[in-house]
Amino acid sequence: MSQSPPNPAPKAVYVKSYGCQMNVYDSQRMADVMGAEGYREVATPEEADLILLNTCHIRERAAEKVYSELGRMRVLKEEAKAAGREVLVGVAGCVAQAEGEEIVRRARVVDLVVGPQSYHRLPDLVARATQKPGVVDTEFPAEDKFTKLPTATVASTRSRGLTAFVTVQEGCDKFCTFCVVPYTRGAEVSRPVSQVLAEVEKLAAAGVREITLLGQNVNAYHGLGPDGAEWTLARLLYRLAEVPGIARLRYTTSHPRELGDDLIAAHRDLAALMPYLHLPVQSGSDAVLKRMNRKHGRDEYFRLVDRIREAQPDIALTSDFIVGFPGETDADFADTLDLVRRVGFASAYTFAYSARPGTPGAEMDGHLPEPLKTSRLHELQALVAGQQRDFQESLVGRTVDVLFEKPGRKPGQVVGRSPHLLPVQVIGPSSLVGSIVPVRITATKTNSLDGVLVGNDHMMSVHAAE
**Residue list for the binding site for [4Fe-4S] cluster:** 20, 56, 94, 172, 176, 179
Distance CA 19, CA 26 (A): 11
E strands, 246-362, where? 248-252, 276-278, 316-323, 347-352
> Can you say which residues are annotated as belonging to the binding site?
20, 56, 94, 172, 176, 179
8 A C-beta contact, residue 122 and residue 83: no
Peptide bond into 253 cis (omega under 30): yes
* CA distances (Å), origin 225, targets 94, 110, 192, 218, 259: 29, 41, 6, 16, 20
Beta bridge partners of 89: 51
- Alpha carbon 404 to chain centroid, angstroms: 20
8 A C-beta contact, residue 141 and residue 118: yes
Neighbours of 24 (CB within 10 A): 19
Pairing of strands 316-323, 347-352: parallel
Neighbours of 186 (CB within 10 A): 18
Distance CA 396, CA 443 (A): 6
Which residues have CB under 8 Å from 180's CB, separation 6+? 57, 58, 94, 98, 356, 358, 359
Pairing of strands 413-417, 423-427: antiparallel
E strands, 291-331, where? 316-323
Amino acid identity of residue 250, one-letter, is: R
Distance CA 96, CA 355 (A): 18
Distance CA 251, CA 174 (A): 19
Rg from Cα positions in the chain: 23
8 A C-beta contact, residue 325 and residue 281: no
